[in-house]
């Protein structure tokens, strides 16, 4: 690993200022589970590392019935998994986050870091897209909010612009009843990255047709995320054999 | 540019000056001399470097030491108190939860983090929790058995490692007279 | 407050941090890993920790490492070159100038300092030059013989 | 069957002797060894699978601040070395023959500097045509890996016993098929490493995590060109070996020459990537054609096997491994007429070598499937086919292997019962199936010179406790505990009163080390003999003190007494002290040797390769998901015949751990090469089984007694790695009717086979 300067800003504004100042040579670190591997492999060699770990409230999760779920980018996967509101109102997210890697990595990796890495092999993206999540990004110049699915561009490529920090993920409260599933296909070890991850949401009237399962699968209400790309699929013929049983209704 | 940091490691404060690119794993091993924490894969997969930071189980190979300023770190060396093994350590011996032992500090720290959070996990919960700690020797059956032995309180109450005598009387040599004894 | 100490040890640059109170002898052993410099008394009496600082014979237990900052140190490890012993080392081996060997690095360096200035010392001069180096094993006779033999070797070369 | 022998220590669930250190993190593995002034070494490796080195310029690296030594082949004798063939160099001489080959190395004050220095070494390469496939390599005109090896063939075997043509003519049905095994990496959680120290007087002291210290010493001496005595090898705690740490690689040698040049101790530890590229020597990849002739009643009449084995660029132990794959299995069943042809072929890939099973997992993958095919064609239960053909005590294989004890049939009965085989077979559910395979392994193997033995020394300390000095070493399998139990049993003392030293070539007598499942049997016998010698001395002393005849004495629990008169006794401590503290005093110290009754195979590879053979049976019930091709193992059963079980926790651990590696081999593990370059050399992409990947397992040991073993024991370590892949494949066939013939069995392969079958 190269030598670098290390900063721990105490506010998002400060962090943005650091990013601005060290434009090309700085990297943000949150959980570090991906960044440090790349740095150890000398694939990334930043001269400045800005840690977001000491920004007060940057890991908070809050829920409001009208506003939905607001997850600050510094929340760790395990914080989300263990959050009572997530468990109660967003069972799909609970099921997804409890399956991310294993507890040690969930204790470290943050949702913001995960999304910004743009790694299609990881689990949260698909479920959050399926739940209509939107994200807020900020820089010292501007703040913007966009749907998560627009954020993902390609393998390891996102719409994150220079100087920007992902600060929040908002997930609207889903309509009830809600049918949902998240599965990932692990051909080798249970610890592997998924070959395919599928998140599926059925809302409102689509649920009534659930018994006509094939029809339900073609319903425009179904959304999913898929390996290597992040499409919000309107129809998913490839799933006709591997679809999970939609048994979870809340 | 080196930074000064203070870590609390197994209850003891440690003041260190380190480069920001140093990993917690290497600082524990090389600066503090706690070599119980092992490096296996260097990429957070195998869990041999598992330690507990502020109550959370983490991979010390993916943790910058600089980010641990002021944090409380537990390593395998902090588990046994006054030569008395932690119940998990005892269970791993009694139930054969290791062979070569290189993954064992990580396995035990992972199990400790679980039991701290959930003292009565089911076997499936243990499996799910521990699955990120790889072992190439045991096939895991005895690791699971060891952890479940602690959960189900099946470790011996009067465990003494290899019956070591703590207060052996050393026979004086100059008064030694060989004779047969009787019961 | 720790200080960064830069010095040359056996012709190699070396840098390490140390508290100002750290003695040069410990610095050499623990920071530089050169354990040939031995600790005998830590009050400058025994000479087991003898090294050369900028060419002058010193007892490294009577110096702080910071005092060696920017200077040149020669330790016993710097004497043999490319696996070949220095003639003084050879002489100590051949003339049985050692038993346990603990004082030997200091003895050798003291002899080195002597013979550098005086290639033909008398026994008295040898005993005087090595007077600050204590040995509990040999009774010094063979040490003196070793230094004499070393002087001869050096004269010939 | 077992002798009615009652043991007081053997067979008890005792505590591991090294347990405390391991659960507290106090065990010193190689990375934990830190010497004063120690430097860290890094190795520059070939980026090409085959290339000539035109020039190496190390001057920039040498001038980097913090660099203490840079070495190339010029710092070595350029003398080739190797376990069987001297064909590899410490650092490339003229050419590199695989990606990852050691070309140069640096010792520096820290790893970052060492890595920077590697980048400053300037090597001018001339890439050469390379060959990556063993079959391609055998073709005329293929690039030669070694100029003197025509058609790249390192070893050819062509052996016929009996009359194979007649035997096939007399067969009722003939099964013929081709199977491919896969390379597999050891993936010890601790990688290979060494700390070398060089005293300018000429002695090397090398701390190694090797599993075969004296073999390491021999090879290092040969490569460095110094006598064995000038090399002292001290074993650190070993974080898993499985064959990978038997010093077939250059790690310790590079550390040694760096230490010599730098004049400082040097530690060289493989990164995980280096371990995959060029560290441990992975399992030999084999393509195996099997042809079996059966009689209608299920008897195997003829067997013809043809193997093409991928040696990689250098030979390591692959020559012996090829022989094992070609012949070992003929000790499992009662064969009469067999033919075996095998070719070991050089390619421009990582050298392959010893991995738990030593050729057996590859061969059993093929042969046990061919037998299963035969069983299905004949309409006979695979369990019955195995029973009909199973070897028995007294069997002599066509290659001269003499079986002194064999409980294979008992293992079959146990497996049948534990699996509830008959019932499960009768109520077969869709997409579920049962599979079975048998296995045989050795307990030691006579192949490193004409010696298949071990030696040990036991001394009694003044406190009456015994200390075993053995150079065999502990690599995690628990053999030190088993040795303490054997010594305690023989001496009649508590196991807590026996300790064992770490292995150190300067302090212990010659020992071959951990391979060929030999330690419990071979070194167990040596320890037992040493203990017996010590016991004689103790009894001699005690007889004076008890005023009794030494022949009438027995010992138990640390007391020595006349048989039947336990009330009056002397303790072992008293006897030892009495022998020492007197005129003409002497410590009680005894040594013991054992050399197995095996035979160094002759030119036709005939000869009893081992003193004892261990047997096992495994069975699986699997469920196949027809939509994804995924295989779920519902239940797994193992029965093992390892003679008397000395250390049950350790023995169970060997079964479970071997099986876990078998599951990895069968279903999970695989390294992909691209033009000889490993594509996934890390734990994120080369997966090994995790806790969640292991199925429910039931296992048990046969009631067995090996007459030549210590208290009836024989080997176990490798047995349960061997048949697992075949078991799973056989079960998949039973479940969905497709047979997978290449490893690992991935969902893609199963799905493809199902689609093709329609």
pLDDT at residue number B111 = 98
Do B60 and B108 have their domain in common? no
pLDDT in tens, D648-701: 999 999 999 999 999 999 999 988 899 999 888 999 889 999 999 999 999 999
- A5-51 CATH choice from 3.40.50.2020, 2.60.130.10, 3.30.160.40, 3.30.43.10: 3.30.43.10
One DSSP character per residue, A101-135 reads S-HHHHHH-BHHHHHHHT-TTSSHHHHHHHTT-EE
- Is-contact D503 D473, C-beta < 8 A? yes
Kindly tell me if the per-residue pLDDT of A235 is higher than 70.
no
| pLDDT tier, A73 (very low <50, low <70, confident <90, very high otherwise) | very high
Answer whether D63's CB lies under 8 Å from B72's CB: no
Test B58 with A108 for CB contact under 8 angstroms: yes
Q: Tell me which chain A residues have a C-beta less than 8 angstroms from the C-beta of B45.
A: 191
Q: How far is B143 from chain D (nearest CA, A)?
A: 9
pLDDT above 60 (res D424): yes
Asked whether the beta carbons of residue C34 and residue D36 sit closer than 8 angstroms, the reply is: yes
Helix, strand or coil for residue B128? helix
Give the Cα separation of D340 and B79 in Å (integer).
56
pLDDT tier, B162 (very low <50, low <70, confident <90, very high otherwise)? confident
CA-to-CA dists, residue D400 to A208, D160, D329, D395, angstroms: 73, 13, 13, 9
B142-163 residues labelled b (16+ CB within 10 A) or e (exposed): bbbbbbbbbbeeebeeeeebbe
Q: Determine the average pLDDT of the residues in A119-128.
A: 86
Other beta carbons within 10 Å of D597: 14
D717 touches chain B (CB under 8 A): no
* Shortest alpha-carbon distance between residue B3 and chain D (Å): 18
Neighbours of D331 (CB within 10 A): 27
Q: How far apart are CA D140 and CA D150, in angstroms?
A: 9
CA–CA dist D284, D349 (Å, integer): 11
What letters, b where the CB count within 10 A reaches 16 and e where it falls short, cover B102-112? Answer: bbbbbbbbbbb
pLDDT at D543 over 80: yes
Which residues of D have a CB under 8 Å from any CB of C? Answer: 35-38, 65, 68, 200, 260, 263-264
Pick among D198, D200, D203, D230 to test the C interface (most C CBs inside 10 A): D200
Pick the closest to residue A243 from A220, A207, A214 (CA basis): A214
Residue of C nearest to D65 (CA): C13
Sign for the CA dihedral angle at D22, D26, D32, D34 comes to: negative
Residue D731 has pLDDT above 80, yes or no: yes
**Inter-chain CB proximity D36 and C33 less than 8 Å:** yes
Contacts of C34 in chain D (CB under 8 A): 36-37
How do residues D196-209 score in pLDDT, each as one tens digit?
A: 999 988 999 999 99
* Cβ-defined contact of B44 to A49 (cutoff 8 Å): no
| CB-CB contact of D500 with D17 (8 Å) | yes
A33 and B CB contact within 8 Å: yes
- The answer to whether the Cβ–Cβ distance between A189 and D693 falls below 8 Å is yes
Question: Looking at beta carbons, which residues of chain B come within 8 Å of D18?
Answer: 101
pLDDT of residue A200: 80
Decide if pLDDT at A234 tops 50. Answer: no
Instruction: Kindly write down the DSSP assignment for every residue of C79-104, as one continuous string.
Output: TSBTTBPPHHHHHHHHTT--SS-SSH
Angstrom distance (rounded) from CA D658 to CA D664: 10
For residue D233, the cross-strand partners are: D206
Mind listing the pLDDT tens digit for each residue in D238-248?
999 999 999 99
Q: Are D236 and B101 in contact (CB under 8 A)?
A: no
CB–CB contact D692 A191 (8 Å): yes
Helices within chain B (DSSP H only): 24-26, 87-94, 104-117, 123-130, 141-151
How close does chain D come to C154, measured CA to CA in Å?
21
pLDDT at residue A248 tops 80: no
Do chain D and B touch: 3 or more Cβ pairs under 8 angstroms? yes
In a domain, residue B30? The reply is: yes
Asked if the structure places residue B116 within a domain, the reply is: yes
Task: Summarize pLDDT for D322-363 with one digit per residue, the tens.
Answer: 999 999 999 999 999 999 999 999 999 999 999 999 999 999
Nearest CA-CA distance, residue A185 and chain D, Å: 9
Q: Residue A165: pLDDT above 60? A: yes
Give tens-digit pLDDT for D463-496.
899 999 999 999 999 999 999 999 999 999 999 9
**Of B78, B99, B125, the domain-final residue:** B78
Average pLDDT over residues D176-204: 95
**D38, C33: Cβ pair inside 8 Å?**
yes
Residue at B178 is within a domain: no
The string of DSSP letters for D676-735 reads TEES--STTTS----GGGPPPEEEEE-----TTSGGGB---TTGGGSSHHHHHHHHHHHH
How many cross-chain Cβ pairs, B to D, lie less than 8 Å apart?
223
* Signed CA dihedral, B132, B136, B141, B147: sign only: negative
Give the single-character DSSP code of B81. Answer: B
Task: List, for chain C, all residue ranges whose pLDDT scores fall below the cut of 50.
Answer: none
Average pLDDT score over residue span A41-64: 94
Banded model confidence at residue A230, pLDDT cuts 50, 70, 90: very low
Contact list, D688 vs chain A (CB under 8 Å) = 189
The nearest alpha carbon in chain D to C93 belongs to D201
Q: Report the alpha-carbon distance of residue A18 to residue D371 in Å, rounded.
A: 69
Reduced to 3 states, what is the DSSP secondary structure of residue D498?
Answer: strand
Q: How far is residue A111's CA from residue A125's CA, in Å, rounded to a whole number?
A: 9
Residue A60 is predicted with a pLDDT of 97
Q: What residues 125-184 of chain D have any CB closer than 8 A to a CB of chain B?
A: none
Looking at the fold, whether B13 and B66 belong to one and the same domain comes out as yes
Cα distances (angstroms) measured from residue D484 to each of A48, D18, D466, D472, D538: 56, 11, 9, 13, 18
CB-based contact D668 A193, cutoff 8 Å: no
Q: Which of D299, D307, D351 is nearest to D326 (CA)?
A: D307
Say if the Cβ atoms of B59 and A102 lie within 8 Å.
Answer: no
Q: Which of A115-119, D282-286, D735-739 shows the lowest mean pLDDT across its residues?
A: A115-119
Q: 3-state class of D413 per DSSP?
A: helix
Give the confidence band of A228 by pLDDT, cuts at 50, 70, 90: very low
B114: closest CA of chain A, how far (Å): 9
Nearest CA in chain D to B136: D188
Is D691 within 8 Å of B76 when comparing Cβ atoms?
no
What is the per-residue pLDDT for B175? 60
User: Which CATH number goes with the domain that contains B145?
Assistant: 1.10.150.120
A29:B67 CB<8 A: yes
Instruction: Return the residue of D nearest to C30 by Cα.
Output: D36
Domain extent at residue B103: 87-151
pLDDT value at position A206? 53
Q: Which residues of B touch D571 (CB under 8 A)?
A: 181
User: pLDDT tens for residues D19-29?
Assistant: 999 999 999 99
Residues with Cβ within 8 Å of residue B167, at least 6 apart in sequence: none
Give D455's Cβ-side CA count (13 Å radius). Answer: 12
Give the model's pLDDT for residue A216: 29
Task: Provide the domain count of chain B.
Answer: 2
Q: Is residue B173 part of a domain?
A: no
Distance from CA of B159 to the nearest CA of A (A): 31
Taking CB atoms within 8 Å and a gap of at least 24, the contacts of C34-37 are C34/C9, C34/C10, C34/C75, C34/C77, C34/D36, C34/D37, C35/D36, C35/D37, C36/C75, C36/C76, C36/C77, C36/C105, C37/C75, C37/C76, C37/C105
To the nearest whole Å, the CA of D229 is away from the closest chain C CA by: 19
Residues D720, D655 contacting (CB under 8 angstroms): yes
ipTM topping 0.85: yes
3-state secondary structure of D321: helix
Do B28 and B69 share a structural domain? Answer: yes
**What residue ranges do the domains of chain A occupy?**
5-51, 61-171, 178-237
Distances (CA, A) of B8 to A172, B36, D302: 41, 16, 70
Final residue belonging to a domain, choices B78, B111, B133: B78
**Pair D550, D477: CB distance under 8 Å:** no
- Cβ pair D63, D49 in contact under 8 A: no
Residue A118, CB-side half-sphere exposure with 13 Å CA sphere: 14
Residue where the block lists tokens 């809050």: A62
Residues in A closer than 8 angstroms to D668, CB to CB, are 188-189
Residue A191's pLDDT band (cuts 50, 70, 90) = confident
* pLDDT per residue as tens digits for the range D46-60: 999 999 999 999 999
Q: What is the pLDDT of residue D3?
A: 53
Topology of domain C3-78, per CATH?
A: Ubiquitin-like (UB roll) (3.10.20)
Tell me what pLDDT residue A1 has.
84
How many residues are recorded in chain C? 157
Scored b (16 or more CB within 10 A) or e, D387-415 reads bbbbbebebebbbbbbbbbbbbbbbbbbb
A interface test, pick of B1, B24, B62, B114 with most A CB neighbours within 10 Å:
B62
What is residue A97's three-state secondary structure? helix
- From chain D, pick out residues whose CB is under 8 angstroms from the CB of C35: 36-37
Fold for the domain defined by A61-171: 3.30.465
**Taking the mean position of all CA atoms in its chain, how far away is CA D630?**
30
Contact, D360 vs D307, CB < 8 A? no
Where residue B15 sits, what CATH number does that domain have? 3.10.20.30
Tell me whether residues D690 and A189 touch, CB distance under 8 A.
Answer: yes
Closest alpha carbon to D261 in C11, C32, C82: C82
Residues of A with CB under 8 A from a CB of D: 1, 185, 187-193, 241-242
Cβ-based contacts of A189 with chain D (< 8 Å) = 668, 687-690, 692-693
What are the backbone dihedrals phi and psi of residue A171, each rounded to the nearest 5 degrees, phi first?
-120, 115
Write a three-state SS string for D190-216.
CCCEEEEEEECCCEEEEEECCCCHHHH
CA distance D142 to chain A (A): 35
Mutate to test the interface with D, among A187, A196, A245 (most CBs of D within 10 A): A187
Chain B residues whose CB is inside 8 A of the A95 CB are: none
Which tokens go with D551? 């022949």
- Where do the domains of chain D lie, and which CATH numbers do they carry? 39-128+192-269 (3.90.1170.50), 354-446+605-757 (3.30.365.10), 453-595 (3.30.365.10)
D545 touches chain B (CB under 8 A): yes
The domain defined by C87-156 folds into DNA polymerase; domain 1 (1.10.150)
Is residue C86 less than 8 Å (CB to CB) from chain D?
no
Nearest CB to A108 within list B43, B62, B113 = B62
Which chains does B contact via 3+ CB–CB distances below 8 A? Answer: A, D
Beta-carbon separation of D36 and C35 below 8 A: yes
Which chains border A (3 or more CB–CB pairs < 8 Å)? B, D
Contact D628 A192 (CB under 8 A): no
For chain B, helix, strand, coil in percent to 5 are 35, 15, 50
The pLDDT score that the predictor gives to residue B60 is: 98
- Is-contact B143 B101, C-beta < 8 A? no
D36 contact residues in C (CB cutoff 8 A) = 29-30, 33-35
Whose tokens are 């085959």? That residue is D50
Whole-number pLDDT of residue D2: 52
Of D36, D65, D263, the CB nearest to C29: D36
Question: Roughly what angle, to the nearest 10 degrees, separates helices D648-663 and D479-491?
Answer: 160
The partner residues of A182 in beta bridges, in order of sequence, read: A199
Q: Which residue has the tokens 């309409």?
A: D379
pLDDT at residue A238 in the model: 33
Q: Is there a contact between D255 and D262 (Cβ–Cβ < 8 Å)? A: no
Higher pLDDT, A200 or A241: A200
Indicate contact of A with C: 3+ CB pairs under 8 A. no
């Amino acid at each position: 690993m190269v030598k670098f300067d290390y900063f721990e800003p105490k506010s998002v504004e400060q962090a943005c200022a650091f990013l601005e100042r060290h434009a090309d040579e700085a990297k943000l670190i949150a959980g570090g589970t991906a960044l440090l591997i790349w740095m150890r492999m000398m694939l990334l060699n930043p001269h400045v590392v800005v840690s977001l770990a000491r920004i007060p409230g940057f890991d908070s999760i809050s829920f409001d019935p009208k506003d939905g779920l607001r997850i600050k980018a510094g929340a760790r996967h395990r914080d989300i998994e263990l959050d009572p509101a997530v468990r109660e109102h967003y069972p799909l997210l609970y099921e997804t986050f409890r399956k991310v890697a294993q507890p040690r990595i969930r204790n470290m990796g943050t949702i913001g870091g995960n999304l910004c890495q743009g790694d299609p092999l990881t689990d949260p993206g698909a479920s959050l897209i399926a739940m209509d999540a939107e994200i807020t990004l900020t820089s010292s110049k501007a703040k913007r909010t966009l749907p998560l699915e627009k954020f993902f561009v390609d393998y390891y490529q996102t719409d994150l612009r220079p100087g920007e920090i992902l600060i929040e993920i908002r997930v609207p409260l889903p309509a009830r009843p809600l049918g949902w599933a998240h599965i990932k296909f692990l051909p080798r070890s249970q610890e592997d990255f998924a070959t395919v991850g599928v998140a599926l949401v059925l809302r409102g009237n689509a649920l009534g047709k659930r018994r006509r399962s094939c029809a339900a699968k073609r319903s425009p209400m179904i959304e999913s995320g898929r390996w290597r790309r992040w499409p919000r699929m309107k129809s998913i013929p490839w799933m006709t054999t591997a679809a999970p049983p939609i048994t979870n209704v809340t | 540019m080196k930074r000064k940091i203070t870590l609390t490691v197994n209850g003891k404060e440690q003041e260190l000056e380190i480069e920001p690119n140093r990993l917690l794993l290497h600082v524990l091993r090389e600066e503090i001399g706690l070599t119980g924490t092992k490096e296996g894969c260097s990429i957070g997969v195998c869990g041999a470097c598992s330690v507990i930071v502020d109550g959370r189980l983490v991979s010390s190979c993916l943790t910058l030491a600089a980010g641990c300023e002021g944090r409380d770190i537990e390593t395998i060396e902090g588990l046994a108190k006054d030569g008395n093994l932690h119940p998990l350590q005892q269970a791993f011996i009694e139930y054969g939860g290791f062979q070569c032992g290189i993954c064992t500090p990580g396995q035990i720290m992972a199990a400790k983090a679980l039991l701290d959070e959930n003292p009565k996990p089911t076997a499936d919960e243990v499996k799910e929790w521990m699955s990120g700690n790889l072992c190439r020797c045991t096939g895991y059956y005895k690791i699971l058995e060891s952890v479940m032995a602690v959960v189900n309180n099946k470790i011996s109450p009067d465990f003494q490692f290899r019956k070591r005598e703590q207060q052996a009387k050393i026979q004086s040599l100059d008064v030694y007279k060989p004779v047969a004894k009787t019961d | 407050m720790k200080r960064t100490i830069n010095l040359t040890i056996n012709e190699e640059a070396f840098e390490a941090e140390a508290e100002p109170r750290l003695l040069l002898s410990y610095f050499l052993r623990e920071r530089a890993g050169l354990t040939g410099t031995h600790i005998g008394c830590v009050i400058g009496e025994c000479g087991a920790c003898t090294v050369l600082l900028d060419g002058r014979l010193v007892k490294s237990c009577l110096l702080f490492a910071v005092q060696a900052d920017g200077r040149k140190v020669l330790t016993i490890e710097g004497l043999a070159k490319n696996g070949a012993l220095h003639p003084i080392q050879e002489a100590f081996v051949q003339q049985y100038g050692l038993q346990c060997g603990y004082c030997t690095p200091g003895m050798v360096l003291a002899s080195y300092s002597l013979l550098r200035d005086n290639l033909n010392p008398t026994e008295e001069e040898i005993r005087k030059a090595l007077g600050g180096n204590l040995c509990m094993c040999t009774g010094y006779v063979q040490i003196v013989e070793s230094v004499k033999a070393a002087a001869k070797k050096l004269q010939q070369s | 069957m077992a002798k009615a022998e009652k043991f007081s220590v053997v067979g008890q669930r005792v505590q591991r002797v090294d347990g405390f250190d391991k659960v507290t993190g106090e065990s010193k593995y190689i990375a934990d060894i830190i010497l004063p002034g120690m430097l860290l070494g890094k190795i520059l490796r070939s980026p090409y699978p085959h290339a000539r080195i035109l020039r190496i310029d190390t001057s920039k690296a040498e001038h980097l601040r913090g660099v203490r030594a840079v070495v190339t082949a010029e710092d070595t004798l350029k003398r080739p070395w190797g376990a069987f063939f001297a064909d590899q160099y410490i650092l490339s001489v003229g050419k590199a023959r695989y990606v990852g080959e050691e070309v140069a190395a640096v010792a520096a004050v820290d790893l970052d500097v060492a890595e920077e220095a590697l980048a400053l070494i300037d090597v001018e390469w001339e890439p050469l045509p390379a060959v990556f496939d063993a079959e391609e390599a055998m073709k005329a005109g293929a690039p030669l890996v070694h100029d003197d090896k025509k058609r790249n063939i390192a070893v050819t075997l062509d052996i016929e016993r009996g009359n194979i043509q007649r035997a096939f003519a007399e067969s009722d049905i003939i099964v013929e098929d081709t199977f491919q095994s896969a390379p597999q990496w050891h993936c010890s959680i601790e990688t290979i490493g060494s700390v070398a120290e060089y005293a300018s007087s000429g002695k090397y002291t090398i701390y190694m995590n090797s599993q075969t210290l004296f073999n390491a010493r021999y090879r290092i001496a040969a490569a460095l060109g110094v006598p064995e005595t000038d090399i002292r090898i001290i074993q650190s705690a070993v974080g898993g070996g499985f064959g990978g740490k038997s010093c077939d690689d250059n790690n310790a040698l590079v550390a040694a020459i760096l230490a010599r040049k730098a004049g400082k101790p040097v530690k060289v530890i493989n990164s995980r990537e280096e371990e995959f590229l060029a560290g441990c020597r992975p399992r030999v990849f084999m393509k195996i054609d099997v042809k079996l002739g059966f009689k209608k009643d299920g008897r195997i009449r003829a067997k013809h096997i043809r193997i093409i084995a991928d040696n990689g660029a250098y030979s390591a132990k692959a020559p012996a491994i090829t022989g094992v794959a070609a012949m070992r299995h003929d000790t499992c069943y009662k064969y009469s007429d067999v033919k075996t042809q095998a070719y070991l072929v050089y390619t421009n890939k990582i050298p392959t070598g010893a991995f738990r099973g030593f050729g057996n997992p590859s061969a059993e993958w093929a042969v046990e499937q061919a037998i299963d095919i035969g069983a299905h064609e004949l309409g006979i239960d695979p369990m019955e086919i195995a029973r009909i053909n199973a070897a028995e005590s007294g069997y002599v294989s066509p290659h001269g292997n003499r079986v002194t004890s064999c409980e294979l049939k008992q293992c079959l009965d146990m497996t049948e019962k534990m699996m509830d085989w008959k019932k499960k077979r009768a109520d077969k559910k869709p997409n579920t199936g049962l599979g079975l395979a048998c296995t045989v392994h050795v307990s030691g193997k006579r192949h490193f010179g004409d010696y298949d033995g071990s030696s040990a020394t036991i001394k009694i300390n003044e406190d009456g406790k015994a200390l075993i000095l053995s150079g065999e070493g502990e690599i995690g399998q628990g053999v030190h505990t088993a040795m303490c139990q054997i010594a305690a049993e023989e001496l009649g003392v508590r196991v807590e009163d026996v300790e064992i030293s770490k292995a150190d070539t300067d302090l212990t007598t010659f020992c071959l080390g951990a391979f060929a499942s030999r330690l419990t049997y071979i070194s167990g016998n040596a320890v037992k003999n040493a203990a017996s010698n010590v016991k004689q001395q103790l009894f001699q002393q005690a007889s004076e003190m008890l005023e009794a005849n030494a022949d009438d004495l027995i010992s138990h629990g640390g007391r020595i007494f006349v048989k039947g008169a336990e009330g009056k006794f002397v303790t072992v401590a008293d006897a030892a002290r009495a022998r020492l503290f007197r005129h003409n005093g002497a410590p009680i110290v005894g040594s013991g040797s054992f050399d197995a009754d095996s035979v160094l195979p002759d030119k036709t590879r005939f000869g009893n390769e081992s003193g004892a053979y261990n047997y096992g049976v495994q069975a699986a019930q699997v469920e196949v998901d027809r939509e994804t091709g995924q295989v779920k193992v519902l239940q797994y059963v193992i029965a093992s015949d390892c003679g008397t079980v000395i250390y049950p926790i350790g023995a169970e651990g060997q079964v479970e751990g071997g099986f876990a590696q078998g599951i990895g081999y069968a279903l999970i593990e695989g390294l992909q090469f691209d033009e000889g370059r490993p594509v996934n050399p890390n734990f994120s992409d080369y997966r090994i089984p995790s806790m969640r990947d292991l199925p429910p397992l039931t296992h048990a040991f046969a009631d067995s007694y090996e007459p030549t073993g210590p208290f009836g024991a024989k080997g176990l370590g490798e047995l349960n790695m061997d048949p697992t892949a075949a078991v799973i494949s056989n079960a998949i066939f039973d479940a969905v009717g497709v047979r997978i013939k290449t490893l690992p069995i991935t969902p893609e392969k199963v799905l493809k086979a199902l689609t093709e079958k329609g």
